[in-house]
Amino acid sequence: MARVVVDVMPKPEILDPQGQAVAKALPRLGFQGVTEVRQGKRFELEVDDSVDDETLTKIAADLLANTVIEDFTVRRLDA
């Protein structure tokens, strides 16, 4: 068994309204100095050793991320 983390982020050139909303809220709450916020999502998968990297990439590309507008990274955490 391994824990796999898939991070999904909007592509850099794609508008990220949620990240912008967070960025705008920060100064209102008194936090200064944050110039940009991008919001993505993180998936944690518990995976059998039988699942290879290729399959994990396919899982990420087909289901977890919308590759038209999002990038993803897949990494295995050490057990």
Partner 1 sequence: MTANKADNTDTVKHAEATPETAQPYRELGLKDDEYQRIREILGRRPTDAELAMYSVMWSEHCSYKSSKVHLSYFGKTTTEQMRSKMLAGIGENAGVVDIGDGWAVTFKVESHNHPSYVEPYQGAATGVGGIVRDIMAMGARPLAVMDSLRFGPADAPDTRRVLPGVVAGVGGYGNCLGLPNIGGEVVFDSTYLGNPLVNALCVGAMRVEDLHLAHASGTGNKIILFGARTGLDGIGGVSVLASDTFSGDETTAGRKKLPSVQVGDPFMEKVLIECCLELFREGIVVGIQDLGGAGLSCATSELASAGDGGMHVNLDRVPLRAKGMTPAEILSSESQERMCAVVKPSDVDAFMRVCAKWDVTATEIGEVTETGRLVITWHDEVVVDVPPRTVAHEGPVYNRPVARPAEQDSLQQPIELPRPSTSDLRDLVLRMAGSHNLSSRGWVTDQYDRYVRGGTVLSQPSDSGMIRIDEESGRGVALSVDCNGRYCKLDPYTGAQLALAEAYRNVAVSGATPVAVTNCLNFGSPEDPGVMWQFEQAVRGLADGCVELGIPVTGGNVSFYNQTGSTAILPTPVVGVLGVIDDVRRRIPTGIGAEAGETLLLLGTTSDEFGGSEWAHVVHGSLSGLPPKVDLAHEMLLAEILRAGSRDGMVSAAHDLAEGGLAQAIVEACLIGQTGARIFLDSEQDPFVQLFSESTGRVIVAVPRTEELRFTDMLTARSMPWRKLGVVDPESKALEIQDVATFALEELANAWQGTLPALFH
Amino acid present at 57: T
Angle at 43 between CA 42 and CA 44, to 5 degrees: 125
Least distance (Å) from partner 1 to the CB of residue 6? 20
29 makes contact with partner 1 (CB under 8 A): no
- CA atoms of 20 and 23, how far apart (whole Å): 5
Closer residue to partner 1 (CB): 20 or 57: 20
Size of residue set near partner 1 by CB under 8 A: 13
Q: How far is the CB of 53 from partner 1 (least distance, A)?
A: 24
Nearest C-alpha neighbor of 61 from the set 16, 10, 14, 8:
8
In angstroms, what is the minimal distance from the CB of 75 to partner 1? Answer: 23
